[in-house]
Amino acid sequence: MRRGTTTLTRLRLLVTAVSVATALLGMIGPSRALGADTLEANDAFIAEGEAASPAVAVGETSEPASSDSSAGLMEKAFEILEPFYFRWGPRWFDFDSTLDDRITPVSSDYSFDRRNVGIDLAVGYDFGPRFGVEAEIGGASLSPKPEEADAFLGGAMLLGVIPIARFGAHEFRLAGGLGMTMLYQKGPDFPERVYIGTAGQVGGRLRLQLQRHTRLSMGVDYTVQDTRWEILPGADDGDDEIRNVGGTAWIRGAFAGLEFCF
């Protein structure tokens, strides 16, 4: 009897173990299938992402296309601006002029000789190593003579510039061109008036490279002015009087200025 009881107990334990094992296998099986499906879905998603986006090497970062276009525009802008330069500095000049009798009612033999220091400004563009253009303006207040109360000399020139010799980063250049000059006068015995004429200029200049974006430019030039018009301001209710006059002016000048470029 005891032996039968032991056998029955063993059978019950075996049935219980089989039942537990079956339950465990039923739980593990679906979870494994679910895990396989999830991995396959993840692999498909990653493959789609790699196909849609470009490959990036390790250590590199991907940049949007707009960044590349902005960099290209900036590079293009610097290529356009690089040949430009701006110059400013003092200008010394020796101004000698002999004018027609009709210009002044004060004297029938009116001439003047002035030496003064003014300011010189220029904007230039180098088309290449062999040619460039330059727009130059300058002016100075003249120390008045006894018969004057105030005087001013100014001018604007458009010049062609040709480098003829180079010394490393430095160069010597020839310049020449045409423009206009203006002389303003006012005295105690005559009203204010302005003389305007055409002018031609030739000269030479030395350009020294100081830094990448800074140069020193020094030069001498000679300008011949042909005085053509005298403008006499009218009264408050009158028109200005413009007369065609004759005369010649010779302007010997020199300048030294800093050039700034891109």
Q: What is the pLDDT of residues 148-188, one digit of tens each?
A: 667 788 899 999 999 999 998 899 999 999 999 888 877 77
The pLDDT, as a whole number, for residue 215 is 95
Domain residue ranges in the chain: 1-62, 83-261
Q: Provide the pairing of β-strand 170-186 with 193-211.
A: antiparallel
**In what helix (H) or strand (E) does residue 6 lie, and over which residues does it extend?**
helix 2-52
When mean pLDDT is compared across 5-9, 26-30, 145-149, the lowest value belongs to 26-30
**pLDDT tens digit string along 22-53?**
555 555 454 444 445 554 555 565 565 555 55
Measured CA distances, 81 to 77, 84, 128, 153, 211 (Å): 6, 6, 13, 32, 17
Output the pLDDT for position 32: 46
**What DSSP character marks residue 104?**
-
Strand ranges (E), 68-110: 84-99
The 10s digit of each residue's pLDDT in 217-232 is 999 999 988 877 888 7
Cα dist from 187 to 12, 147, 151, whole Å: 137, 6, 9
Query: Mean of the per-residue pLDDT values for the chain?
Result: 75
Given a cut of 80, whether residue 206 has pLDDT beyond it is: yes
Region 113-142 average pLDDT: 86
The more confident residue out of 73 and 207 is: 207
Let me know: does 120 contact 88? Beta carbons within 8 Å.
yes
Q: Which pLDDT band holds residue 255 (cuts at 50, 70, 90)?
A: very high
State mean pLDDT over 110-126. Answer: 77
Highest mean pLDDT among 17-31, 108-122, 170-184, 240-254: 170-184
Q: What is the pLDDT of residues 75-107, one digit of tens each?
A: 777 778 888 999 999 998 877 766 544 444 333
Determine the CATH number of domain 83-261. Answer: 2.40.160.20
Cα–Cα distance list, 75 to 69, 81, 83, 108, 113 (Å): 10, 10, 14, 63, 51
Residue 163 CA from chain centroid, whole number:
22
